[in-house]
């Protein structure tokens, strides 16, 4: 992946819970971490992890295990995959051996689609994350979730999550209300010194993100929570400044469209499409030092995330019913057309020259208008204001995976709807890699600072 922070020159280790189709797991691996264990409950997602492990997860296959008290694998050995309820896992054998614990606890309790029950919803898996922290004492934690966590109606409970992450070893009793436990945590936190360096405590950074601002060709609003163990001496303020600094922008995309850089990257775009897109560029566009937002057209063309990605072949509208894999001609799978796409009020399509809309899992694994795209092709339509109507179709699974910045080697298991569900629930790889690399660099900087301080102490003696 390009434009990412430099990785520390050492192999670090990771454990991935709620791995899903592998987005965050791939990101953490690409940031230089060796996987010690994966956990995922969904059968199809587990099949995807096993099928893609050698090519995308940095491990020589996955060993599916039933042991609820697994042991970390030696370097060069396959990582274990526990395909069952994370709440049953005992990870104490991993204590002191894990640099990063990563995962996205199921978000349904906090999403609109999940009826937003929050703490009352049994699908809330944050307590399982805290148990894993108590078991393993990782140096850092990376957690991604829906922006719904930041809703005003969840403000108190979200702060409770942050407080638990800061003090994960202050375990909540089964009989206590979360409000009572939170009051206890707040009392403890209020008494902590500013220079707290207890190995039982963590320093937490909360980052609301739009994935497009980090180089993902998709508008995807999420929250990333990162925690560092307090005894490590990580410069949390510097880390927070780095990860909250925008790197890509809509304004830069507008400027590249206006000055022609964008069109030079896509020389085959018809003039009528250029004119339509340019007419929507605001008259006044602010200046910044950012790179242009990446677009759906960029993703399909293979631009931006990996220079070796080929341009995906066009999907022929007259062959949609055949469900033919158009990617075969370039050796890419799951680039299959799908019939039945519609556009109507509240069900509007993606435009090629903007980042895609948020890829969603959907109630039954079938996205709505978010998986429809407007094409460059048009037909005469006397009922249209300008006399033309642009054609549209469903995005293919491979196009959707590109929008999620998954490598073409990733192969989702199950029918189309299940593959789309896995993608909709995933972390975009580029977004995850940015944060995982930043964590690795922060840990390396803290270690270097500690070593330098030790050298000074030795010299003083």
* Domains of the chain, residue spans: 12-247+430-460, 249-289, 292-424
- Does residue 270 contact residue 276 with C-beta atoms inside 8 Å? no
Does domain 12-247+430-460 fall under CATH 3.40.50.1110? My reply is no
Q: Tens digit of pLDDT for each residue in 376-418? A: 999 999 999 899 999 999 999 999 999 999 999 999 999 999 9
Please tell me the predicted confidence (pLDDT) of residue 9: 43
Please tell me the predicted confidence (pLDDT) of residue 4: 45
Mean pLDDT of the chain: 90
pLDDT of residue 458 exceeding 70 = no
Please tell me the predicted confidence (pLDDT) of residue 76: 87
pLDDT category of residue 1 using cuts at 50, 70 and 90: very low
pTM value is 0.92
CATH fold for the domain made of 292-424: DNA Methylase; Chain A, domain 2 (3.90.120)
- For residue 398, what are the CA distances in angstroms to 330, 356, 375? 13, 14, 17
pLDDT of residue 116 exceeding 60 = no
Please tell me the predicted confidence (pLDDT) of residue 368: 53
The active-site residue, picked from 46, 107, 143, 290, is 107
pLDDT of residue 107 exceeding 60 = no
Structure tokens at 49: 């992890």
The arithmetic mean of pLDDT across residues 64-73, rounded, is 95
Cα–Cα nearest to 98, from 77, 72, 80 = 72
Confirm whether 107 is a catalytic residue: yes
- For residue 335, what are the CA distances in angstroms to 215, 327, 369, 459? 23, 5, 19, 62
pLDDT category of residue 443 using cuts at 50, 70 and 90: very high
Residue 363 CB burial class (10 angstroms; 0-12, 13-18, ≥19)? exposed
Residue 407, CB-side half-sphere exposure with 13 Å CA sphere: 20
Question: Rounded CA gap, 76 and 67, in Å?
Answer: 21
Please tell me the predicted confidence (pLDDT) of residue 153: 84
Question: Rounded CA gap, 22 and 38, in Å?
Answer: 9
The arithmetic mean of pLDDT across residues 419-446, rounded, is 96
pLDDT of residue 363 exceeding 70 = no
The arithmetic mean of pLDDT across residues 33-59, rounded, is 91
Question: Which run of H or of E encompasses 276?
Answer: helix 271-278
Question: Rounded CA gap, 416 and 387, in Å?
Answer: 35
Residue 302 or residue 368, greater confidence: 302
Please tell me the predicted confidence (pLDDT) of residue 115: 40
């Amino acid at each position: 992946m390009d434009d990412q922070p430099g990785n520390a020159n050492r192999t670090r280790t990771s454990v991935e819970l709620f791995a899903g189709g592998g987005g965050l797991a791939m990101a953490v691996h690409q940031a230089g971490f060796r996987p010690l264990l994966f956990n995922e409950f969904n059968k199809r997602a587990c099949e995807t992890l096993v099928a893609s492990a050698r090519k995308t997860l940095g491990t020589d296959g996955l060993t599916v295990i039933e042991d609820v008290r697994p042991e970390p694998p030696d370097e060069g050995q396959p990582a274990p995959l526990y395909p069952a309820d994370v709440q049953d896992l005992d990870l104490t054998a991993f204590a002191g051996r894990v640099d990063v614990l990563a995962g996205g606890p199921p978000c349904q309790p906090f999403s609109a689609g999940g009826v937003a029950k929050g703490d009352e919803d049994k699908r809330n898996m944050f307590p399982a994350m805290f148990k894993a922290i108590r078991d393993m004492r990782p140096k850092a934690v990376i957690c991604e979730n829906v922006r719904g966590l930041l809703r005003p109606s969840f403000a108190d409970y979200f702060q409770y999550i942050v407080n638990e992450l800061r003090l994960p070893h202050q375990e909540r009793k089964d009989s206590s209300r979360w409000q009572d436990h939170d009051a206890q945590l707040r009392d403890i936190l209020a008494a902590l010194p500013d220079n707290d360096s207890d190995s039982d405590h963590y320093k937490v950074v909360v980052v609301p993100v739009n994935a497009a601002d980090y180089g993902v060709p998709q508008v995807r609003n999420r929250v990333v929570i990162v925690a560092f163990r307090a005894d490590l001496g990580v410069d949390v303020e510097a880390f927070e400044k780095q990860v909250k600094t925008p790197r890509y922008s809509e304004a830069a995309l507008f400027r590249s469209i206006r000055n022609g850089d964008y069109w030079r990257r896509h020389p085959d775009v018809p003039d009528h499409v250029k004119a339509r897109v340019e007419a929507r560029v605001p008259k006044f566009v602010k200046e910044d030092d950012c790179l242009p937002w990446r677009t759906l057209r960029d993703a399909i063309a293979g631009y931006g995330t990996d220079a070796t990605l080929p341009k995906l072949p066009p999907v022929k509208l007259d062959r949609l019913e055949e469900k033919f894999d158009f990617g075969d001609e370039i050796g890419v799978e799951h680039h299959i057309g799908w019939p039945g796409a519609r556009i109507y009020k509240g069900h509007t399509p993606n435009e090629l020259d903007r980042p895609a809309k948020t890829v969603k899992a959907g109630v039954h694994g079938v996205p709505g208008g978010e998986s429809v795209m407007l094409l460059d092709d048009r037909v005469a339509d006397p009922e249209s204001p300008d006399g033309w109507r642009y054609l549209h179709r469903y995005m293919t699974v491979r196009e959707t995976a590109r929008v999620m910045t998954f490598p073409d080697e990733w192969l989702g298991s199950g029918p189309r709807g299940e593959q789309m569900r896995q993608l909709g629930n995933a972390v975009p790889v580029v977004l995850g890699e940015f944060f995982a690399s930043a964590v690795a660099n922060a840990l390396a900087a803290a270690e270097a600072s500690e070593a330098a301080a030790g050298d000074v102490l030795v010299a003083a003696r």
